[in-house]
């Protein structure tokens, strides 16, 4: 029997100086071996965090989205080397904005087309923001889109508009966190004939019994959302809103690849346990074991690894939508190939197929304290396994 007293102690102390509340589940061999919740879902109302509390996933959405696309890969719907223009014709003549030493910008054709694998591995050349030429144009294009359609445009509208943006390096040459996973979500729609939300519900959420996960609020899900907080330097907590909350409205249309889902710790832990156990949870098979291995292999070159690694990601490479441990001796007591991702407001996922184990942790707070929290949760959880 594993002993998780250290994890209880750490998290019960953490909510006194960090987030208002949090939850964590650890699974091993297909079963939950640890599940506990701490603190408050709403400080002002003194509402406790429970199994039913829901969290904004932000970038933890990415692991679900990339898993969904790789399910379609298994069905022969595309190849990783396919140009994305095979699926989005407007992306056929991609241009590169090459910054010159004199400060000027040369706009030239890309050396090769953007491929599906570039989108999955964040090597397609458009990030989430910046002051360079590419991202100034991207911001302008998004503003024009909103001015013409309004806030409630679709994923396909966004993909069509962003095709105008010159990317900031040739496809596959660098690593840049950003727009690639919106294209991944778009590919799900093209290859399945369904919206992203429809595909996720039919192929992942319903089969796994993830009945508290989605893009749009339904039933009592809005009321079960934890209150997000801004934690100030003096320790005071200010309630805020998630900046994607408007996309949870029932009439919202955009279903993003990079963010946008809400979920409970329990729901997401079922999903993580499935991935830790070769793509099967209980008797429900979702995705092949060898496809998971492909996802969690490092796909970055030495040059791209320099773009990717920082103090939070030290020891990790990047696969098809997930970080993946390539040097555990530097940081972690998990295995080579342990994989997962994180979310802007504090959600965290670590999956170790070698141990058939997974760790899911969640809070919603800015700043998210991820480097302090996540590494400790990971190390305590994997250290407790027997």
Q: State the CATH number of the domain containing residue 181.
A: 1.20.58
Across the range 35-56, mean pLDDT stands at: 98
- Is residue 213 a part of any domain in this protein? yes
Helix (H) or strand (E) holding 97: strand 95-99
372 in helix, strand or coil? helix
Q: What is the pLDDT of residue 330?
A: 83
Contacts 24+ apart (CB under 8 A), 79-83: 79/116, 80/115, 80/116, 80/117, 80/120, 80/320, 81/115, 81/116, 81/117, 82/115, 82/116, 83/113, 83/114, 83/115
User: In this prediction, what percent of the chain has a pLDDT beyond 90?
Assistant: 95
Classify 363 in phi/psi space as left (phi over 0), alpha (psi -120 to 50) or beta: beta
> Is the same domain home to 17 and 144?
no
> Is the same domain home to 162 and 260?
no
Number of domains the chain is built from: 2
Q: In the structure, what pLDDT confidence band is assigned to residue 1 with cuts at 50, 70 and 90?
A: low
State the CB neighbour count (10 A cutoff) for residue 376. Answer: 16
User: Tens of pLDDT along 89-98?
Assistant: 999 999 999 9
Domain limits at 133? 73-192
Alpha-carbon span 226 to 229, nearest angstrom: 9
Give the contacts of 249 (CB within 8 A, at least 6 positions apart).
216, 217
> Is the same domain home to 35 and 141?
no
> Is the same domain home to 142 and 52?
no
Structural contact between residues 132 and 168, judged by C-beta atoms closer than 8 angstroms? yes
Across the range 271-295, mean pLDDT stands at: 98
Q: Is the pLDDT of residue 84 over 70?
A: yes
Structural contact between residues 164 and 241, judged by C-beta atoms closer than 8 angstroms? no
Across the range 64-84, mean pLDDT stands at: 98
Q: What is the pLDDT of residue 329?
A: 84
Beta strands in 190-322 (DSSP E): 229-231, 237-239, 262-264, 280-281, 284-285, 316-318
Query: Shortest CA distance to 345 belongs to which of 235, 257, 247, 227?
Result: 227
Structural contact between residues 271 and 25, judged by C-beta atoms closer than 8 angstroms? no
Across the range 207-227, mean pLDDT stands at: 98
Looking at 192, 227, 256, the residue that finishes a domain is 192
Structural contact between residues 299 and 316, judged by C-beta atoms closer than 8 angstroms? no
Structural contact between residues 361 and 379, judged by C-beta atoms closer than 8 angstroms? no
> Is the same domain home to 278 and 349?
yes
Q: What is the pLDDT of residue 103?
A: 85
- Is residue 200 a part of any domain in this protein? no
- Whole-number mean pLDDT of the chain? 97
> Is the same domain home to 266 and 125?
no
Query: Shortest CA distance to 66 belongs to which of 296, 316, 298?
Result: 296
- Is residue 202 a part of any domain in this protein? no
Structural contact between residues 181 and 257, judged by C-beta atoms closer than 8 angstroms? yes
User: In this prediction, what percent of the chain has a pLDDT beyond 70?
Assistant: 100
């Amino acid at each position: 029997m594993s002993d998780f007293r250290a994890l209880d102690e750490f998290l019960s102390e953490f909510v006194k100086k960090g987030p208002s509340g949090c939850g964590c589940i650890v699974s091993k061999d297909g079963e939950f071996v640890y599940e506990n919740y701490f603190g408050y879902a709403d400080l002002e109302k003194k509402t406790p965090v429970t199994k039913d509390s829901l969290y904004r996933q932000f970038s933890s959405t990415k692991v679900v989205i990339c898993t969904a696309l790789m399910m379609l890969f298994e069905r022969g719907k595309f190849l990783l080397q396919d140009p994305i223009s095979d699926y989005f014709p407007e992306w056929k003549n991609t241009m590169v904005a090459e910054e010159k030493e004199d400060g000027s910008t040369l706009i030239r054709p890309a050396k090769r087309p953007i491929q599906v694998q570039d989108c999955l591995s964040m090597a397609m050349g458009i990030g989430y923001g910046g002051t360079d030429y590419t991202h100034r144009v991207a911001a302008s294009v998004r503003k024009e889109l909103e001015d013409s359609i309004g806030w409630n445009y679709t994923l396909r509208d966004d993909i069509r508009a962003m095709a105008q943006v010159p990317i900031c390096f040739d496809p596959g040459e660098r690593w840049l966190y950003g727009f690639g996973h919106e294209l991944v979500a778009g590919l799900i729609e093209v290859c399945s004939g369904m919206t992203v939300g429809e595909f996720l519900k039919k192929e992942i959420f319903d089969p796994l019994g993830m009945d508290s996960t989605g893009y749009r609020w339904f039933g009592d899900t809005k009321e079960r959302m934890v209150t997000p907080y801004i934690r100030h330097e003096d320790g005071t907590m200010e309630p805020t809103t998630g900046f994607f909350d408007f996309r949870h409205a029932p009439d919202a249309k955009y279903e993003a690849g990079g963010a946008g889902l809400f979920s409970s710790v329990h729901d997401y832990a079922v999903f993580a346990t499935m991935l830790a156990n070769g793509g099967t949870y209980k008797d429900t098979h979702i995705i092949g074991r060898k496809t998971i291995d492909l996802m969690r292999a490092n796909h970055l070159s030495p040059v791209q690894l320099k773009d990717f690694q920082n103090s939070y990601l030290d020891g990790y490479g990047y696969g098809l939508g997930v970080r993946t441990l390539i040097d555990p001796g530097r940081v972690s007591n998990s295995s080579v190939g342990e994989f997962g991702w994180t979310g802007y407001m504090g959600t965290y996922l670590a999956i170790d197929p070698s141990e058939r184990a997974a760790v899911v942790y969640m809070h919603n707070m800015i700043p998210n304290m991820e480097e302090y929290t996540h590494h400790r949760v990971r190390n305590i959880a994997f250290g407790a396994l027997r």
